[in-house]
Structure formats: structure tokens, C-alpha cells
Structure 1
């Protein structure tokens, strides 16, 4: 994945306008690719930030009658108590951590990297940040949930991100990942990291998608957590 697997294309990139001193790695949702999100973020870009949009590998997805599509891991059901693809989630998380390592090798320290995603990608970004020994600047979690939530807090025992900042956004009219999942996830997150660092924003009438005001909130969060240090 993320360029290491010949069957998965290289990530879409929105380069920094000038020298990149920070990065955002953003993971798309089920059945999608990184390209659409690259276009969305190009409209809210910050000059010193590099934006990276990996593409999930194609695999059969149980939720969609085993049809093959881009997916970070298998999803069996959207029921709150559904069995989860633990091995797939952990494997995907390992790949995302490797992508973070690659950016560190490229010269961007991990504490200047924000991890984020939408829906399944947001779920993976939360899990990865909570179980990572790489100190991150924060997480942007859109219309998602915390996977393997029953494995916490033990799964986060060695995490470097107990004080990370999280922006969680969810549409109140979400018909795929119910709004209540977002609310419950935010409450769970408050028990795992510094609760004062969690911002939960809801959007009236918003289904399982994004809208301009939400993207503005994302832009402001990124600029606050990844300030321009080029003049320092």
C-alpha cells in the first residue's frame, strides 16, 4: 500500500506552495480514492503544508456483498456491536505508520504531521494515532467512528499522543455512519486523551458527506496545529 504495493497507485499529492514544513495525510472513505479529496483540499490549502492522499487497496468488502472496491479493511456490518476485521485494521494501521515514517525521512518531523480521514479513513486515522509511538500534531476525523473501541484503553498504552488535538466533525443527518456513532466516539476519545483537546462539531442537515463550512473548520484546525515556522 501507499506505493509499496504495485497494485496500489502512489498517493495523490497537493504540494506545498513553498518549502513544506508540515504535512497532512488524509485517508478517503470506502469505495473512494484519494483524488477527490486532493481536489477538495487544494481549495483550502495552506502554503507551507504538503497534503498526501493515499489510495486504499482494492479488496472484497463483506458489507457490499463481497464486491471488490477500494477499502482500508473489511467491514462486516454497520451495526454498533458488529464483529470487526481486527487483523485488517491493524495491518492497514501499520501501513499508515510506515507512510508517516516516510515523511519523517523526507524531513518533516512527526509532530508536524496531521493524520485525518473521512468515514472508514477517519476511523483508521483515529485508531492509528491512538496506537502510534509517533507523536503527531493531531487528527481530523470526519463522519467516522473508533474501530476496535473495546481494545482501548489498553491498545493505547504506549501511544505518544495522549495530548494530541482532535477535530471530529459529523453530519446530524448521516444515514450511513449515524450521528450517534460520532457522539459516542467523541465521548470515548475523551477517556483516552486529554478531553480539553477534543473538538466535536456537528452540522445540521448534513448527510454522509462534507460541506464548505466543514472544510473551513478543517482548514482552521490545520493552520492552528501546524503554524508556519518558516520565518522563525
Structure 2
């Protein structure tokens, strides 16, 4: 039994693959529900999408207000001071969804992790430290906050990674996305970086590319 609540959507009976997708600050698992039909996955594909709801905690940049968050953000500068211990704790909570899927019969190598904004920071931490091979990682408008401290897993050294970012993002500047990409390349990861003329959001072209990525790595 997972500690976090989540929304589940299945594209077919008896799913043999799963995508665990983390929302951004102040949002909820409902944020990315509408994306699933727009991915245009094949009718024959049976994929379970899991959209967890982040726990509620005080967030420094919002005056200490309590809101759904994967970790505290202490400043919005390019250093992006975050609470790494909270990122790791959230990664542990999301890890329970991976274990749940494996108990349901979905092998780890058919589980994809995705995250938007601060959800992406958690997805980076979890995917690249997970001890068994996963299917892929997607970071949307995000940042690799724990790159200097993460305990990396050899099993996921060859993990396919997609990093997406908006060129007009005022919340998570594109420089953070590019820094994530360059750090991943320096660490030897298989990463592709793609930008879109948008702000801190998603766009149809990005969703279409995500659909193609899922079809590729899950052989749908």
C-alpha cells in the first residue's frame, strides 16, 4: 500500500507497462490526466498511467504557505536552492509506486518515470538511483537538483532520457534545463534535449514527442 494518493488511468486491459508522472508545485495529479489521450498511443497498447498527489508542506518562496509540494524551494535564482533531503524523501515515497507496479506484474524495465518542474527533480533522483533497470525518464521544464549528491545506479546508466524545456520559461529558466542536459552528458547518460517556444507549461508538439518516445522505449 503506497503512502501517497494517486490517480490511475489505463489505456487497455491488463497493463504490461506503466508511466509514473509527477506534477509541479502547488498542483495535483489531475494536472496531466488530459495529456494521456493526446499521446496517441496505439489502440493495442495497455499502459497504466499513475499521477501521484504530492504531500502538503510549507514552501519558502511562497511565504511559507502550505501547498502540495515534492520539496521546499528556498529561492528562485539560478542556483535554485532546494531541500535535497525532501527530494530524496519524496523519491522514496514515489518508489513505492514502482514496487506496487512490479507486484502487479509490470517489470521494472517497462516502467517510465516523468516529472514536471519540481516533480522532475524527484524523477531525476529516483530514476538514476533506482537499483534495477527502468524503461525511461522524462524531465519537463525541470532541473537536476541532486546531481552532485545522487547515488547513481549502474543499472540505469544507459537509461533513455528526454529533457524538455520552454525557451520563455520565467519560473524555471531554460538555463537550468541546459545545465541538466550538460550534466547528464558529462555523466555519460543517453539524453536528448528539446526546447519549445513556450513558458512554464506543456505544448502539443511536446506531447506528441513524448508519445513517440513512449512508443519507442516500450515498443508499443
Q: Match of 1:75? A: 73
| Equivalenced residues, count | 217
1:92 to 82, 90, 93: 90
**Equivalent residues of 1:25, 1:52 under 8 A apart:** yes
Give the match's secondary structure for 2:120: helix
Q: How much is the aligned-residue C-alpha RMSD, in angstroms? A: 1.5
Q: Match of 1:110? A: 108
Give the match's secondary structure for 2:113: strand
**Residue 220 of structure 1 pairs with residue 215 of structure 2:** no
Which aligned segments of 4 or more residues in structure 1 are displaced greater than 4 angstroms?
none
CA distance in 2, matches of 1:11, 1:116: 14
Per chain length, whose mean CA-contact separation is higher, i.e. which structure has more relative contact order (CA < 8 Å, sep 6+)?
A: 2
TM-score (norm 1): 0.88
**Equivalent residues of 1:84, 1:148 under 8 A apart:** no
Offset of 1:78 from its aligned partner?
2.2
Residue ranges of structure 2 left out of the alignment (5+ in a row): none
Q: Match of 2:135? A: 137
TM-score (norm 2): 0.93
**Equivalent residues of 2:88, 2:122 under 8 A apart:** no
**Residue 198 of structure 1 pairs with residue 188 of structure 2:** no
Note the 1:33-182 alignment, pairs <5 A.
33-44=28-39, 46=41, 47-152=45-150, 155-156=151-152, 158-182=153-177
